[in-house]
Structure 1
Amino acid sequence: MSAMTIRRDIAELADKGLLKRVHGGAVTTSTLLSEPLFSVKSQMDIGLKGAIAQEAIQYVAPGDVIAIGGGTTAYVFAQHLLESQQSSGITILTNSIPVAELVQALESKDVEVIVTGGVITRSNSLVGPIADKVVASLRVNTVFLGTHSVSIPRGFLMPNSLEAATDMAMMDIADRTIVLTDHTKWSCTSLSLFARFDQVDTVITDDGLDPDSAAKTKDLVKELVLAHQSETIEESE
């Protein structure tokens, strides 16, 4: 094949976080450090994320002040929430640029959004000291966070240490913490721990989680919710 084809394929794989471009070629990336772009992750496991989102919106009441973290599962939750009656009069604090854009695009301005500011990550999240300082000055009823991986018995992890720190800051100002994650995250590994199991009130995942992992997680967290993915997939079809 041509050199141009090779360069194009390498660029595409690098965008997906599957390898790292270097002078003269490419090298493999560690699964501990790689993180696909938001545009890539948003196309993955859509049915699972929709099922999780439908369960999560039940934890929001009209007029609530909530926080929504970065990542595509949190983004799908925001989509479902803004289409529901529970979003009436709510205020959303977020470090997710896509979530903020969702609110801004609403025809009805019944929802207020506060954006943290900060440094932009590959997942289109705003992190770092600026974000953490804004978050620390506020208070929310509930924070909804995604996660890159779930490690038993350690907890919830992110590949980006700055993003992990900002998630921790959001947890510090919330009365309740809810983690939204599909069952595939139990087989992933990441670098930075942002929450132990005993720091999380509810974990919402899908019923594709294997029984052993579900039983161990249920013993470690206050509440484990298994969303029925089949119903959402049928509706999307």
Structure 2
Amino acid sequence: MRITALSKELGVSAMTVRRDIADLADKGLLKRVHGGAVTTSTLLSEPLFSVKSQMDIGLKDAIAQEAVKYVAPGDVIAIGGGTTAYVFAQHLLESQRASGITILTNSIPVAELVQALESKDVEVIVTGGVITRSNSLVGPIADKVIESLRVNTVFLGTHSVSLPRGFLMPNSLEAATDMAMMGIADKTIILTDHTKWSCTSLSLFARFDQVDTLITDDGLNVASVAETRKLVKELVLTHQTGLAQDEQ
């Protein structure tokens, strides 16, 4: 859309349109071009971390609380980027299960959470790399650090879930870094809410048979639950209250 056309159609000044376009562009909802704006591809676009952190908060809390049960004191774990993984890190660090754990992460917000702890009982290793819109560190530097280590469990978010393909990200470098994390983990757990089944992304980072546990919420429709259950080793459905129901 051109600024002049939007100004005329909406009955507002060109300056107002430009300001609104800038706002939407900052949120990753469109792309500014000379004289107007164009839509961002649903395959490639990803909102900023600050925008995503305000979305589906109740669902992320329930999923995160369930995921904490998969960590034992003294574990060495990896936590990927994204807001659901960040909420998981928040709940984990507030629990007794975080005692003596080591966290490998490519998430700047997760690393900052650990750094802010008064107790230094948790060790954090940050991968380094190139920063994405989701405040994740990705690319060859991150992958090289990851490949030299080993963890018990990796906890990853996902931008979209494709049946029957698997789990996808809009950023191919981020997908590669998630794959590197899975490659050093004894167990892979995906944390994602039901809305991700209706999204589309560019880069596949995991097939269903590569994932040990998928934790989502009971907002997922019955047909998707049935199909997903056939593909993944363990499917856990949570309620917004934080209660969980296992589906094998």
Of 60, 63, 68, which aligns to 1:57?
68
Of 43, 66, 76, which aligns to 1:32?
43
Secondary structure of residue in 2 paired with 1:92: strand
Q: AA paired with 1:195?
A: A
Of 142, 152, 165, which aligns to 1:154?
165
1:210 aligns with 2:227: no
Query: 1:1-237, aligned counterparts within 5 Å?
Result: 1-231=12-242
Q: C-alpha separation between the residues in 2 aligned to 1:58 and 1:48?
A: 17
Scaled by the length of structure 2, the TM-score of the pair is: 0.92
Instruction: Give per-residue Cα distances to partners, 1:161-219, cap 9 Å, x unaligned.
Output: 00000000000000000000000000000000000000000000011111110110010
Q: C-alpha separation between the residues in 2 aligned to 1:226 and 1:15?
A: 33
Q: C-alpha separation between the residues in 2 aligned to 1:36 and 1:161?
A: 16
Q: C-alpha separation between the residues in 2 aligned to 1:112 and 1:103?
A: 8
Report how far residue 17 of structure 1 moved.
Answer: 1.7
Q: C-alpha separation between the residues in 1 aligned to 2:21 and 2:152?
A: 44
Q: C-alpha separation between the residues in 1 aligned to 2:239 and 2:50?
A: 25
Q: C-alpha separation between the residues in 2 aligned to 1:45 and 1:53?
A: 12
Q: C-alpha separation between the residues in 1 aligned to 2:150 and 2:89?
A: 19
Q: C-alpha separation between the residues in 1 aligned to 2:240 and 2:31?
A: 34
Secondary structure of residue in 1 paired with 2:200: coil
Contact 2:172 2:203 in 1 (8 A): yes
Q: C-alpha separation between the residues in 2 aligned to 1:29 and 1:136?
A: 33
Q: C-alpha separation between the residues in 1 aligned to 2:15 and 2:35?
A: 13
Percent of counterpart pairs with the same letter? 89
Report how far residue 2 of structure 1 moved.
Answer: 2.1
Q: Which has the larger radius of gyration?
A: 2
Q: C-alpha separation between the residues in 1 aligned to 2:242 and 2:227?
A: 26
Report how far residue 3 of structure 1 moved.
Answer: 2.2
Q: AA paired with 1:127?
A: V
Q: C-alpha separation between the residues in 1 aligned to 2:68 and 2:168?
A: 23
Greater displacement, 26-35 / 73-82:
26-35
Q: C-alpha separation between the residues in 1 aligned to 2:80 and 2:15?
A: 39
Instruction: Give per-residue Cα distances to partners, 1:59-79, cap 9 Å, x unaligned.
Output: 000000000000000000000
Q: AA paired with 2:48?
A: L
RMSD: 0.9
Secondary structure of residue in 1 paired with 2:214: strand
Runs of 4+ in 1 over 3 A off after TM superposition: none
Q: C-alpha separation between the residues in 1 aligned to 2:241 and 2:68?
A: 18
Q: C-alpha separation between the residues in 2 aligned to 1:127 and 1:192?
A: 14
